[in-house]
């Protein structure tokens, strides 16, 4: 039998995933689940055949240029690969794989939850009921009023798997689907969602009531919702982001929320995680979550299975099924 590949996992994964990985590979686990320092990542890539990082590990040029000759695969535990310097990996012939598909529905559920929660002030109401300082004085016809979802226009930025899964849910809630994507979708898919395509993101932003970010973070989408574009939104508009914080200019978003120039935001991701801009947290118009859209036990196990399938294919000398090509992004 051929030698098992040395696999270094940077964070604690579900037990079933770790057990299976230890059966199949010469696996080094991170039992403490403390994020590795850059120095520890450099040590890891010097000895591993395969590295399994997560969104919290910066696999940048400095790390990759110090990788040992054995390192051939970075099997990212996550769908977004903006934590990995793909160009340097390619130049050094290191394959990169991700975990697409298995967190689509969970992420779309959380996106929909935020689309509902922010305009309907769900978090505010729940916090009010729990706060021992506020004694509920009873119902009133003009109190805690939010805004109707039904019939509003949702503008989805990025109509990939997750964007479409959001569209499917949103349609059931009576939202009208608008979208911006690099490529227009085939007619039959557009028809399924009764979706309106906007080649111009600027034009879409002036017309929609809720914007949902569902694109990856790449050099091309960094601050796609720039200060200028955010100012195109109607004052009654909401922004929801379950993709990556870097896609939005957060400072401008905070400013617009403070001045009431937009109505609210539902944010599961932030520019400098785990540091969150305090101005966003101070705003009652914001529902903030700690990067948990894909955080289901089922999803994490599925992600682990994907990682295992990719490593196994690589170890058996086959092309890993979820290889990420720079041109795909």
Cα torsion angle, 284, 289, 293, 298, sign = negative
Burial class (CB in 10 A: 0-12, 13-18, 19+), 182: exposed
- Distance between CA 178 and CA 211 in Å, rounded? 9
Shortest Å, Cβ 20 to ligand 8YV: 18
Shortest Å, Cβ 110 to ligand 8YV: 10
- Distance between CA 165 and CA 219 in Å, rounded? 25
Q: Tell me the residue number closest to ligand 8YV, measured at CB.
A: 78
Identity of the residue, 73 or 262, whose beta carbon is nearer to ligand 8YV in the bound complex = 73
111 sits near ligand 8YV (criterion: CB under 6 A): no
Spatial contact of 178 and 200, defined as CB atoms under 8 Å apart: no
10 sits near ligand 8YV (criterion: CB under 6 A): no
> Could you tell me if residue 72 is left (phi over 0), alpha (psi between -120 and 50 degrees) or otherwise beta?
alpha
Identity of the residue, 101 or 146, whose beta carbon is nearer to ligand 8YV in the bound complex = 101
294 sits near ligand 8YV (criterion: CB under 6 A): yes
DSSP per residue, 47-91: H-SEEE--TT--B-HHHHTT--TT--EEE-SSS--TTB-HHHHHH
100 sits near ligand 8YV (criterion: CB under 6 A): no
Residue with tokens 């294919």: 313
Angle at 102 between CA 242 and CA 185, to 5 degrees: 70
Identity of the residue, 103 or 230, whose beta carbon is nearer to ligand 8YV in the bound complex = 103
Task: Using CB under 6 A, pick the residue from 44, 67, 78, 95 that binds ligand 8YV.
Answer: 78
Three-state DSSP at 95 gives strand
Spatial contact of 67 and 45, defined as CB atoms under 8 Å apart: yes
Shortest Å, Cβ 25 to ligand 8YV: 19
241 sits near ligand 8YV (criterion: CB under 6 A): no
Task: Using CB under 6 A, pick the residue from 36, 74, 103, 118 that binds ligand 8YV.
Answer: 103
Spatial contact of 217 and 244, defined as CB atoms under 8 Å apart: yes
Shortest Å, Cβ 107 to ligand 8YV: 7
Spatial contact of 223 and 271, defined as CB atoms under 8 Å apart: no
Shortest Å, Cβ 55 to ligand 8YV: 4
# residues contacting ligand 8YV (CB under 6 A): 9
80 sits near ligand 8YV (criterion: CB under 6 A): yes
Only one of the segments 21-29, 71-79, 173-181, 277-285 lies at the binding site for ligand 8YV (rule: CB under 6 A); that segment is 71-79
264 sits near ligand 8YV (criterion: CB under 6 A): no
Identity of the residue, 164 or 178, whose beta carbon is nearer to ligand 8YV in the bound complex = 164
Q: Over the Cα atoms of the chain, what is R_g? A: 22
Task: Using CB under 6 A, pick the residue from 54, 104, 181, 214 that binds ligand 8YV.
Answer: 54
Only one of the segments 17-25, 29-37, 77-85, 277-285 lies at the binding site for ligand 8YV (rule: CB under 6 A); that segment is 77-85
Q: List binders of ligand 8YV among 161-220 (CB under 6 A).
A: none
- Distance between CA 204 and CA 159 in Å, rounded? 14
Only one of the segments 76-84, 188-196, 223-231, 245-253 lies at the binding site for ligand 8YV (rule: CB under 6 A); that segment is 76-84
| Residue 111, both tokens | 């996106």
Catalog residues that contact ligand 8YV under the rule CB under 6 A. 54-55, 77-80, 103, 291, 294
């Amino acid at each position: 039998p051929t030698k098992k590949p040395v696999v270094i996992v940077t964070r604690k994964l579900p037990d079933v995933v770790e057990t299976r990985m230890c059966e199949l590979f010469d696996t080094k686990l991170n039992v403490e689940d403390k994020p590795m320092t850059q120095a520890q990542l450099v040590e890891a890539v010097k000895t591993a055949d395969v590295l399994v990082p997560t969104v919290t590990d910066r696999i940048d040029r400095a790390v990759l240029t110090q990788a040992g000759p054995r390192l051939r695969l970075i099997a990212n535990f996550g769908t977004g690969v903006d934590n990995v310097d793909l160009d340097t990996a390619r130049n050094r012939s290191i394959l990169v794989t991700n975990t697409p598909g298995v967190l689509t529905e969970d992420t779309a559920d959380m996106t929909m939850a935020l689309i509902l929660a922010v305009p309907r002030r769900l978090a505010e109401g729940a916090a009010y009921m729990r706060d021992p300082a506020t004694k509920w004085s009873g119902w009133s016809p003009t109190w805690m009023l939010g805004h109707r979802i039904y019939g509003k226009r949702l503008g989805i930025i990025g109509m990939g798997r997750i964007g479409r899964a959001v569209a499917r849910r949103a349609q059931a809630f009576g939202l009208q689907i608008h979208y911006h994507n690099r490529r227009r979708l085939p007619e039959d898919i557009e028809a399924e969602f009764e979706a309106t395509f906007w080649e111009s993101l600027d034009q879409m932003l002036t017309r929609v009531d809720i914007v949902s970010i569902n694109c990856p973070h790449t050099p091309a989408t960094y601050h796609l919702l720039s200060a200028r574009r955010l100012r195109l939104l109607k004052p009654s508009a909401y922004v929801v982001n379950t993709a990556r914080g870097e896609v939005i200019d957060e400072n401008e978003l905070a400013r617009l929320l403070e001045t009431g120039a937009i109505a609210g935001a539902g944010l599961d991701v932030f520019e400098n995680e785990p540091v969150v801009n305090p101005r966003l947290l101070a705003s009652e118009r914001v529902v903030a979550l700690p990067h948990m859209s894909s955080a289901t036990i089922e999803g994490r196990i599925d992600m682990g299975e994907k990682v295992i399938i990719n490593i196994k294919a690589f170890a058996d000398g086959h092309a890993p099924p979820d290889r990420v090509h720079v041109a795909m992004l």
